[in-house]
A and B are shown apart, each in its own frame.
Chain A
Amino acid sequence: MNCATRITCCLTFLLATLVIPQALSTCTAQQKKAPASKIPRGTGQIPGPAVTPVKAGNRQQVRRAAANIDLLISTLHRANGVTPTNQLDDDLFCRRAFLQIAGRIPKLSEINRFLTSEDPQKREKLIDRLLSSHDYVSSMFNFWANLLRLQDHPVNNNLIAQPFHEWIKKSLAQNMPYDKWVREMLTAEGQVWDNPAVGYTLRDTGMDLDHVDNTVQVFLGTQIGCAQCHDHPFDRWTQLEFYRMASFTFGTQMRAPAGNKQRFPNGPPLQRLREEMKKRDPAYNTNGFFSRIINANLFEVDSPRRQRLKLPHDYAYDNGKPNQPVSPQPIFGKASAPKPGESQRDVMARWLTAPENPRFTRNIVNRLWKHAFGVGLIEPVDDLNDESKAASPELLAFLEQELKRLNYDTRELQRIIYNTSAWQRTATAEQIDPDQPWLFPAPILRRMTAEQIWDSLLTLAVYNFESFTRPSMQGVAADIDLELDKVGPAEVRKAAETFQQKYSTAAQNRITRQRNSYKGKLVLARASELPLPLPPGHFLRQFGQGDHELIDSASTDGNVAQILTMFNGEITHMMLEAGSVIYDNLLKARSVDQRIRVIFYSILGREPSRGDESTAATEIRRAGPAGYGNVIWALINTKEFLFIQ
């Protein structure tokens, strides 16, 4: 009997036992009334915009492109004598696809559905279904949050960035073309609740030069930061080139000019409103939310009207003089002239996102390839330069050409990548030699990201955890948008109080603690629906979620605190309690064998080996019912659980 048939058989068997859970659980309830679970359950409804599904009609095209990639990779392998790893079996494919696309392990029901299906196209259908899900939005949000350094209150507490984060999720759900998405972020003007894409620029408030450096690094995969202070020591960028590039966006206004008489004829709003409030009610504290709301309203992005950037006072090179004004010019290629009504920011955004800009496409293709395989076609992904060469230039060129053909539909490009047999191979633990090109015998063995671990544990423990989204800031404009020169203190006070009650960090904590926490403490929502950044002691930070201070600050290193948490932490205890998903699924199965199967499929996505089975069965015989808990505990602590094969 071959492996696949065997799995299907076992699963059918398992499924047969799952057909009658209703009766079993009723019967169980009568025998012993289960205590009310402390684990919250979601409704199953997922708030937020619907996800645009991928087009089923494109499958033929996807297959062709995937086959072409495989051809290029096998050419590479033949030329270099590389033997690729084997294709994944269905069970491991299912787990990999979920972790990669949905950012979590599959639920038992999802595994059942996939493994028992006899549809020859079930792999492509699963990929399509996952790419069309909220899980995909959540997982890609985590990807971008790490690169865009998303924080709820970047720079200071007055700045509200959550509408920007909601906009990113919406753009992902609606599958906005990537080039358009980047252009919107680079050119947006206004306040964050009217035009949430301004959040991108506001993230770097007060850091005009770093902002340029960050933009070039994230969207062009190029490091020009060194040239901010001196000619780049390892690359060709000169300080003059950096300043010319920076000149496009330098002076972008991030705060409304409070002292400007034309803008605010009644005087600087903060002072005026605080004084008026003090007159009206001397006891009222105008320091807290009252001031915060005024300051929040002052944050708005406006493109610079004239270029103001000058070379630094200590400029040391021959190609310019200290304090000499610099006119905008891109670091390579040519920018078009501004059209009527356009600012230099528009010009820069058009240059940066143009299909003719080689690094714009190369950067995102390379980053998405790395997201899929664990290694970029060019490494490091954020240091592309004139000399960098992909292991297979043909493959890189093909991917770039595809993305252009797809009009920057990055999700469709991911769909193609996940349909390749190159991606569907078992992971390799082979060491990567940074001096040798990586020839992609397989995706590399990776530990789950912090977000994948957290979301996977929720999958095992919490029903419908996808429903627990963050309290939305959708209505925030109506509640706190003030016409600062016209309003009186009473309106500010009302807005401040509304904000404090509905949107403040404390309010959001109160809501989530009441609605979806374990014992009023541990908030159980998937990683993409938790505050950013989380406090350092949080599970996600412990496992390497970044602080979002620097680009790509996440890590998958291990430490002792992680182990203590997995061994003995709250989330582990929760999983072993009545009312957790895995606990209930276990109860629904009838025999020891079937229960062992439930545990293995739920946690590792595969059937137990013969050795596994006998070890687990011995344990359960030895320890009685507690033995099930011990087996679950042991499996979530295995390396196999933490690693994606």
Chain B
Amino acid sequence: MVNPVPDMSVSLQQSTRRALIGRSAHLLSGAAAISGFWSGLPAATTVPRKPGTRSAGRAKSVIMIFNCGAPGHTDLWDMKPLAAPEIRGEFQPIDTAVPGIQISELLPDLAQRMQQLSIIRSVHHRHGGHNSGMHWSTVGKPYRIDSTLINPGPADLPSLGTLVGWLARRDGFSASVPPYVITPAPHCDSTKYLTPGQFGGCLGNQFDPFVLNTDPGAKDFKVPGLRLNEAISPERLDGRTALLSSLEKSGTQIHSDLTAAIEEQRLRALNMISNGEASEAFDLSREPTEVRDRYGRHSWGQSHLLARRLIESGTRFVTTVNGPSITWDTHKDNFNQMRNRLVPPMQQAFTALLDDLTERGLLDETLVIWMGDFGRTPRINKDAGRDHWPQCYSMVLAGGGIRGGQVVGSSDKIGGEPFERPVTPADVHATVFAALGYQADQITYHHSDGRPAPVCDGTPIRELL
């Protein structure tokens, strides 16, 4: 007799949840180890970490704080107190811990930590649309059109994060967390138009970042699919995967390149689900309350905290997006929005991250880079706002062996154009690659049409290394 109502969805609810490290081993053929799941390519090509410059090669991982919508450079990092009132705006400069360097009064906490920061005040590109602007900032190259109504596709050129993840896997990445993560969501203009470049693009979707797509600031935050459904015990998942592998043996055999890739991805997914390490890394509830409070109990703060946890577990690149959407796009009421809504949580999260990394001794090997789509117009518009300004803006770097306490480049009297030492986004990327120990101009990837291209064609900023 068969039980009349098979209850298929729930079983073993009482069973305790146990860490499952290594439990998926039966899916592996032979004696392959769990480590090395993320390395997608043959390990033959290791990258020489060239010595040379002092600090090059000291960084192991990168956290990119991306401020979506473009924060005004002249209101934060590049003050123009001597310019006319319609240019300089409402905020005053203040002194920082480094004599001679001043930043905005909105950033007193970061001013105290100026020893760790390097500000580049002469970054510039030529795309004024949000998504194409973000593309240029993060990919280091223009998009084929200057528009915000664009989306990622399989021919996209890879962004800094994609490339760092790709290189990590090329070099035998072996952590159980993914090499490249975006939290909480991709940068975009409205949720409909996502910036191209931040996914695998022409490198293939196996190099897509792991995207959180959920709010780490939420009370019941968890990663969809990553943690097992409450009704499914680890033992049951284990049983199911065992069943899966025996049914694949007894059923119709299918073999091709594609199916081989699936087997490998299955192992990685399973490793993420069942390996304690990965789900622990994503589990913010393991942090003490005071640490969580220090970062700020909001999406930005908790996202920065998650970035730190992931880096600790081995992730190589985390993009933490200060969004949602183009929240920094202050065409109207710029000053009140900056003062009340935007800068405080940004500063809180950034500061907490710097302090936390310092206390844990991780700042030296973790490069933090702060940027946005572009800058904002030097001249204040009729709505007390500032509009788009790619001609000149600021980026900030810290840690990862980068020399702090300095300003690179300068802008003209109003922050309109680079004045000294113009720097392109690609130059900043080249600096990041150098800090990671890569000779970016010597390593190539292939565009979707087969053309080879160097990982980065910018010039490293020697003052920073």
Contact = CB atoms under 8 A, between A and B. Distances in A.
Contact of A556 (B239, B258, B263): B258
Interface string A552-589: 01011111111111011100010011000001001100
Contacts of A615: 243, 246-247, 250
A277 to B, nearest CB: 20
A624 B11 contact: yes
A635 B247 contact: yes
B205 A604 contact: no
Interface in B323-371: none
Given A587-B5, A625-B6, A645-B254, A630 B270 contact: no
Contacts of A560: 178, 210, 265, 268-269, 272
Interface stretch (B101-109, B150-158, B392-400, B433-441): B150-158
B252 to A, nearest CB: 5
Interface stretch (B72-80, B221-229, B420-428): B221-229
B261 interface: yes
A590 interface: yes
Given A563-B269, A564-B269, A609-B250, A625 B5 contact: yes
A634 B247 contact: yes
The majority secondary structure among interface residues of chain B is: loop
Interface string A128-161: 0000000000000000000000000001100000
Contacts of B232: 568
A81 interface: no
A631 B243 contact: yes
Given A560-B268, A569-B224, A643-B254, A576 B186 contact: no
B328 to A, nearest CB: 21
Interface in B1-30: 2-12
A583 B8 contact: yes
Contacts of A635: 247
Interface string B228-256: 11001000110111011011111110111
Contacts of A57: none
A628 B237 CA distance: 14
B6 A567 contact: no
A536 interface: yes
A368 to B, nearest CB: 23
Contact of B8 (A431, A557, A561, A626): A626
A473 to B, nearest CB: 19
A25 to B, nearest CB: 10
Contact of A628 (B6, B236, B251, B269): B6
Given A547-B153, A559-B206, A611-B250, A31 B2 contact: no
A573 B229 CA distance: 9
A235 interface: no
Nearest to B249: A611
Interface in A590-604: 590-592, 595, 604
Interface string B262-291: 110110111011000000000000000000
Nearest to A535: B191
B70 to A, nearest CB: 20
A315 interface: no
Given A31-B4, A535-B191, A561 B248 contact: no
Interface residues of B, number: 68
A537 B213 contact: yes
B229 A559 contact: no
A564 B272 contact: yes
Interface string A506-545: 0000000000000000000000000001011100000010
A558 B270 CA distance: 15
Contact of A564 (B191, B206, B225, B256): B225
Contacts of A627: 6
A571 to B, nearest CB: 11
B8 A576 contact: yes
A558 B247 contact: no
B204 interface: yes
A586 B6 CA distance: 9
A637 interface: yes
A639 B261 CA distance: 11
B259 interface: yes
A562 B258 CA distance: 14
- Residue of A565, A626, A632 contacting most chain B CB atoms (<10 Å): A626
Contacts of A34: 5
A341 to B, nearest CB: 36
B219 interface: no
B239 A558 contact: no
Contacts of B268: 560, 563
Contact of B2 (A591, A604, A631, A640): A591
A549 B254 contact: no
- Residue of A533, A557, A583, A604 contacting most chain B CB atoms (<10 Å): A557
Contacts of A624: 3, 6, 11
B175 interface: no
A565 B266 CA distance: 11
Interface string B151-174: 111110000000000000000000
A638 interface: yes
A536 B186 contact: yes
B254 A630 contact: no
Contacts of B272: 560, 564
B352 to A, nearest CB: 28
A555 to B, nearest CB: 6
A567 B265 contact: no
Nearest to B6: A625
B199 to A, nearest CB: 8
A604 B248 CA distance: 12
Contacts of A622: 239
A204 to B, nearest CB: 12
Contact of B3 (A429, A563, A625, A640): A625
Interface string A287-301: 000000000000000
B240 A553 contact: no
B266 to A, nearest CB: 5
B243 A609 contact: no
B269 A639 contact: no
B5 A28 contact: yes
- Residue of A533, A553, A563, A643 contacting most chain B CB atoms (<10 Å): A563
Contacts of A586: 6
A203 B433 CA distance: 40
B181 to A, nearest CB: 12
Interface in B192-223: 192, 194, 199-200, 204-206, 208, 210-211, 213
A485 B251 CA distance: 68
Contacts of A611: 249-251
Interface of B: 2-12, 149-155, 178, 186, 191-192, 194, 199-200, 204-206, 208, 210-211, 213, 224-226, 228-229, 232, 236-237, 239-241, 243-244, 246-252, 254-259, 261-263, 265-266, 268-270, 272-273
Given A569-B225, A615-B247, A624-B6, 10 more contacts: A28-B4, A535-B192, A544-B205, A559-B208, A563-B266, A576-B9, A577-B8, A595-B2, A625-B11, A626-B10
5 contacts: A537-B211, A563-B266, A573-B9, A634-B244, A640-B251
Interface of A: 27-28, 31-32, 34, 155-156, 429, 431, 445, 447, 533, 535-537, 544, 546-547, 549-550, 553, 555-565, 567-569, 573, 576-577, 583, 586-587, 590-592, 595, 604, 606, 609, 611-612, 614-616, 619, 622-635, 637-640, 642-643, 645
Closest 6 CB pairs of A and B: A629-B8, A611-B250, A625-B6, A626-B11, A563-B269, A564-B225
